């Protein structure tokens, strides 16, 4: 997989456990140049914790060309990020959208009790931001470019505990398909990567520890997937190797999504 001469944006790295960082590393180690965004820091945070967490990673790579804040709920800020990318790179070849958020209180309660304000917040950050970023990227994307977003199986089937975020992922996957159509005539592909449970900041909030054991016992491969495996697949979706794929949800979950029964877990049920 080669990214020599390719340039793009990585949106959503929070720390070294982020799936977005696993994908970005694969791209940069294959020769690609990346611009990064981070969560804006509060004005009263003199230590700039959000920026520092990401800069500690990007500072180690010469082809990590810039790191700037982006507020996923601010259209003007999103446009300014892509304008900055255009000034730095000219045209770009890829965008990774790895942005999602739901209020912890709404995540922890049954879906039926999701607050209206919490629902709107989760959908705005987790779904609408993909539309806004795609619109901002459209004028500066090279033909043959690619956009990838991050989903999870909870958007396809009910996964208790994933709750309102499952609804957001279902909407995100629908948005991805419509964007694939809208951008297809520009030669730009749009896909989603659906990873199995991974220990990330977002994963911990969604109860990933309980899911790891379940996947290990149910997935055909009989194990969980690694950051590196998800990173390689994400880079693939943003590379020329996937140039005939668009509107797709690519699962990296050891085959868990293909199961119609508990599989080997049945052996543990008393006869």
**Positions marked catalytic:** 152, 162
Distance, C-alpha 179 to centroid of its chain: 16
Give yes or no for a contact between 135 and 183, defined as CB atoms under 8 angstroms apart.
Answer: no
Which residues have C-beta within 8 Å of that of residue 70, sequence separation ≥ 6? 11, 37, 38, 39, 40, 77, 78, 81
What is the number of helices (H) and of strands (E) in the chain? 10, 7
Identify the H or E element spanning 60.
none
Contact present, 206 and 165 (Cβ < 8 Å):
yes
Give the C-alpha distances (Å, rounded to integers) separating 1 from 66, 157, 235, 239, 271. Answer: 23, 32, 8, 7, 49
């Amino acid at each position: 997989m080669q990214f020599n001469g390719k340039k793009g944006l990585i949106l959503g790295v929070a720390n070294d456990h982020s799936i977005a960082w696993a994908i970005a590393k694969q791209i940069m180690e294959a020769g690609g140049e990346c611009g990064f965004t981070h969560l804006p820091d509060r004005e009263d945070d003199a230590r700039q914790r959000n920026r520092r967490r990401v800069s500690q990673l990007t500072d180690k790579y010469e082809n990590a060309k810039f790191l700037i804040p982006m507020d996923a709920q601010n259209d003007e800020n999103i446009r300014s990020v892509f304008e900055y990318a255009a000034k730095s790179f000219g045209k770009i070849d890829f965008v990774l959208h790895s942005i999602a958020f739901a209020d912890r209180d709404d995540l922890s309660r049954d879906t039926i009790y999701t607050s209206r304000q919490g629902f709107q917040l989760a959908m705005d950050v987790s779904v609408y931001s993909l539309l806004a970023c795609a619109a901002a990227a459209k004028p500066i994307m090279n033909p043959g470019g690619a956009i990838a977003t991050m989903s999870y199986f909870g958007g396809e089937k009910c996964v208790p505990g994933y709750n309102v975020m499952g609804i957001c992922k279902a909407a995100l996957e629908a948005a991805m398909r419509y964007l694939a159509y809208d951008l297809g005539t520009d030669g730009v592909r749009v896909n989603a990567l659906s990873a199995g449970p991974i220990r990330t900041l977002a994963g911990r909030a969604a109860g990933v520890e309980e899911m790891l054991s379940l996947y290990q016992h149910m997935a055909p491969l009989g194990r969980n997937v690694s950051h590196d495996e998800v990173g390689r697949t994400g880079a693939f979706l943003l590379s020329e190797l996937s140039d005939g794929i668009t509107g797709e949800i690519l699962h990296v979950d050891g085959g868990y999504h293909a199961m119609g029964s508990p599989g080997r877990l049945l052996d543990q049920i008393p006869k």
